[in-house]
Structures are given as structure tokens and as C-alpha cells.
């Protein structure tokens, strides 16, 4: 079974600074996707970024980038130039690629990020 | 597109009552997921459907929980009888594929259930 661990329950950062959220996972699969989802106070789950495990290049979406270390099973999210609107819960998630079928999206417990003015 | 639509947004009910949560997935999405979020357990997948057929219901906590998808545009999650420990936010989500055809899963805004 796959597991996703977010060891930091809460972090805070000053506006315009850079912050890194950590995530580790455990799996015996070789092909999979990793995701970071954001959940603002409205409770909506919003996809921030995703990474295919077979790609060596780290994914980037504007101010959001990941550091994917496959051997270490680590998948951290870096938020540059933090904005007040980044305040939210952030969830790391994992999904295995299976041929001819589907897999569950497994979430970590989440981490609360607060961006202070 | 209106996104995934869930109702009700908030429900408070008494223990023992039946609760029905509703979901309308994004048009054209053939996968539908029900998740439950609690402080203790985080986000858990309860059940998911592909083309209206339940594929994996191993996350459904017990027989009090049931889910149906009578057509491509509607699904329900029912709890009967409800218990205080069922209090949680229930999310519905949809996508156009998973596995080797993985695509982004879009979540609804959630149904916040409180059982007293």
C-alpha cells in the first residue's frame, strides 16, 4: 500500500519570502504521479502542480515548483514570492499508474501554511 | 463549466437520521470519487465510479454507508443511520481518467456534515 507523509503540520512565512513544504511517500510502484493540492478556507481542493515520476525534470507552475527526488521518495513544494492568497492547507498526494485500470489518489494529512503581511 | 456541484453545502442532523449527499460531476467526466475529510484521518477515498459503475468501495467505512450513480450526471452518498463520528466534510470529485490515462481530478466545494 502507498503512504504519503507530511511531517510539518504547520508553517508560517512572511509575504514575498520563499517557503518549502516537504512530503515523502512510500511505494513499490515504479510509475506514478505526485500532486500538490491547495485547500483555502473555502474548502475547495485546487490542484497546484503535478509531477510524473518518469520525468526527471522538476515540474514548475509560475511561482510553484517541486523538488522531486525519486530515489529518496521525496516530493517538496517550493513557493516563491509568497502571497497572502497562498494561505491554505496544502496536501501532497500520490497516484500509481496501473495498466488497464485505475488507482486511488492517496493524500497526506496536510500542512497549514500561513502567509503573514 | 460549472465545476463539480455538491449539495447540501452544510447539514446538521440528529444521530440516527438518514443523510443523503448529492453530486453532479463535470459534464464529460467518466470518473467520480467520494472523499471524506476529518481532522484525525485527513482525506480518505470512500468509493469511486467509472461510467456509473462502482469500481472500488473498499474505503466505505461500514454498511451504513452506500453510494449510487444512476446516471452520468448524478451521484448520491447515503448514510443510514448517521452517527456523530460521521461528522466530516464530504467531497465529490470527477475526472476524465485515472491510471495510465491520469488526468486532473476536480473537486467540488464539499458538504459539511455535522451529526449531533
CA atoms of A14 and B95, how far apart (whole Å): 35
Residues of chain B contacting A, Cβ within 8 Å: 31, 33, 42-43, 45, 48, 50, 55-56, 59, 89, 91, 93, 98-100, 102, 104-107, 109-110, 112
Q: How far is B104 from chain A (nearest CA, A)?
A: 8
pLDDT of residue A100: 47
Q: Give A12-67 pLDDT, tens digit per residue.
A: 999 999 999 999 999 888 888 899 999 988 777 888 999 988 888 999 999 999 99
Burial of A60-96, coded b for 16+ CB within 10 Å and e otherwise, reads eeeebbbebeeeebebbbbbeebeeebbbbbbbbbbb
CB atoms within 10 A of CB A7: 10
pLDDT (tens place) for every residue of chain B, 116 residues total: 679 999 999 999 999 999 999 999 999 998 899 999 998 888 899 999 989 999 889 889 889 999 999 999 999 999 999 999 999 999 999 988 655 455 677 889 899 999 99
Q: Spell out which residues of chain B touch residue A99, defining contact as CB-CB under 8 Å.
A: 99-100
How far does B18 lie from chain A, in Å, by closest CA?
Answer: 24
Task: Please give the helix or strand (H or E) that residue A25 lies within, else none.
Answer: strand A24-26
Distance (Å) from the C-alpha of residue B82 to the closest C-alpha of chain A?
23
What's the start-to-end Cα distance of chain A, in Å? 41
Cβ neighbours around B19 below 10 Å, total: 20
Amino acid at each position: 500500500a502507498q503512504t504519503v507523509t507530511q511531517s510539518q503540520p504547520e508553517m508560517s512565512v512572511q509575504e514575498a519570502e520563499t517557503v518549502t513544504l516537504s512530503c515523502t511517500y512510500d511505494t513499490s510502484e515504479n510509475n506514478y504521479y505526485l500532486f500538490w493540492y491547495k485547500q483555502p478556507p473555502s474548502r475547495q481542493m485546487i490542484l497546484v502542480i503535478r509531477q510524473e515520476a518518469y520525468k526527471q525534470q522538476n515540474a514548475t507552475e509560475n511561482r510553484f515548483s517541486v523538488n522531486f527526488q525519486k530515489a529518496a521518495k521525496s516530493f517538496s513544494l517550493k513557493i516563491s514570492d509568497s502571497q497572502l492568497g497562498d494561505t491554505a492547507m496544502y496536501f501532497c498526494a500520490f497516484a500509481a499508474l496501473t495498466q488497464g485500470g485505475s488507482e486511488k489518489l492517496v493524500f497526506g494529512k496536510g500542512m497549514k501554511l500561513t502567509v503573514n503581511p | 463549466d460549472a465545476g463539480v456541484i455538491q449539495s447540501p453545502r452544510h447539514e446538521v442532523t440528529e444521530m440516527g437520521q438518514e443523510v443523503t449527499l448529492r453530486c453532479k460531476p463535470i459534464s464529460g467526466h467518466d470518473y467520480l470519487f467520494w472523499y471524506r475529510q476529518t481532522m484525525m484521518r485527513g482525506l480518505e477515498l470512500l468509493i469511486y465510479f467509472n461510467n456509473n459503475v462502482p469500481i472500488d468501495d473498499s474505503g466505505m467505512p461500514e454498511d451504513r454507508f452506500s453510494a449510487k450513480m444512476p446516471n452520468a450526471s448524478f451521484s448520491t452518498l447515503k448514510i443510514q443511520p448517521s452517527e456523530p463520528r460521521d461528522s466530516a466534510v464530504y467531497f465529490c470529485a470527477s475526472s476524465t481518467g485515472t491510471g495510465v490515462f491520469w488526468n486532473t481530478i476536480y473537486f467540488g466545494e464539499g458538504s459539511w456534515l455535522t451529526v449531533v
